[in-house]
Structure 1
Amino acid sequence: MEIRAATPQDWPRIYPFWSRIVEAGETYAYPLGLSADEARALWMEEPPGLTVVAVDGGEIVGSAKMGPNRPGRGAHVATGSFMVDPGRQGRGVGRALGEYVVAWSRDNGYHSIQFNAVVQVNDAAVRLWQALGFVIVGTVPEAFDHQSKGRVGLHIMVKKL
């Protein structure tokens, strides 16, 4: 699997799984029903951020975006978001993207990484981030309206670099 910077030409191959994941209502609080152009504006980062794709056998199987969590005096803390094509989950794509974001953040001089909204019942993501050294520093109760489980918490997770 190769992880490389996403290009504008990659977006039409990212958007189908991006929209399936968002519309499922289990992991992201993005608005439902976004057009490809509206979604692209939310996912495709501009510098100093970066959006990458994971490519396996010529197919885009996942994507991640990363950059400063906050501007100005908070810009020393990175953040990241991840999506793996649902048909490709369980094959190490998320881990590879997570490791990439950790290395990119370290290489770009960030002090730490903060994930602002990890859905509490997204067990696979919570386990993965903990395995990569992230800790839960707090949980906002009932902050996410999960499609099937109702209102659940959002974890704030941090890794010092």
Structure 2
Amino acid sequence: MRIRGVASEDWVRIWPFLREIVAAGDTYTWDPDVTEERARELWMPTPPWRTVVAVDGDTDGDTVLGTAKLGPNHMGPASHIANASFMVAPAHSGRGVGRALGEYVLDLARADGYRAMQFNAVVETNTRAVALWRSLGFDVVATLPEGFEHPTKGFVGLHIMYRRL
């Protein structure tokens, strides 16, 4: 596995699994019916945001296993706190892709001069993600009760997770 900056041509390999994850409605706060155009705008924003991909192999054309984006959580005097989002292709789940992307993005955030990272909306029933972020040093600093309407579990909490860099 190799992690690199996203290329425009990667979108055709990201969109199918991004659409699947968002349409499931159980881990992302996006509209499950998001259009491809809107999804691309949200996932591949302009600088200072950066998007990366984890690929299987050594060439730029190989399979995209997962992707992440990193940027400031807020503007101005709060812009020293990073935010990031991650998606792993369901077909490649359980291979360490999420952990590799998480570690890579934490290092990237440090190199970019961020002092901490905050996740604004980790669905509490997404136990694999919560466990991964905890193992990488994040704490749940607050939970918004019933902040997320899960398609099968009803209203569940949204965690705000944080760690210093």
Give the structure-1-normalised TM-score. 0.98
Q: CA deviation at 1:46?
A: 1.3
The residue identity in structure 1 corresponding to 2:12 is P
1:79 is aligned to 83
2:53 is aligned to 53
2:73 is aligned to 69
RMSD over equivalenced CA pairs, Å: 0.7
| 1:13 and 2:17 correspond | no
| 1:115 and 2:129 correspond | no
Q: CA deviation at 1:45?
A: 2.3
What's the % identity of the aligned pairs? 54
Report 1:89-108 matches (<5 A).
Answer: 89-108=93-112
Aligned-partner Cα distance in 2 for 1:91–1:45: 27
| 1:139 and 2:147 correspond | no
Does the CA-based 8 Å contact 1:45-1:66 persist in structure 2?
Answer: no
Does the CA-based 8 Å contact 2:54-2:66 persist in structure 1?
Answer: yes
Does the CA-based 8 Å contact 2:69-2:85 persist in structure 1?
Answer: yes
Provide, for residues 118-159 of structure 1, a one-character-per-residue CA deviation record: whole Å limited to 9, x for no partner.
000111000000000000100000001111111100000001
Aligned-partner Cα distance in 2 for 1:159–1:56: 29
| 1:160 and 2:164 correspond | yes
Q: CA deviation at 1:4?
A: 0.5
Paired positions, count: 161
Aligned-partner Cα distance in 2 for 1:107–1:81: 18
User: Which one of 123, 138, 149 corresponds to residue 153 of structure 2?
Assistant: 149
Aligned-partner Cα distance in 2 for 1:137–1:35: 32
Bigger shift: residues 78-87 or 33-42: 33-42
Aligned-partner Cα distance in 2 for 1:55–1:147: 31
| Uncovered stretches (5+) of structure 1, i.e. residues with no partner | none
1:36 is aligned to 36
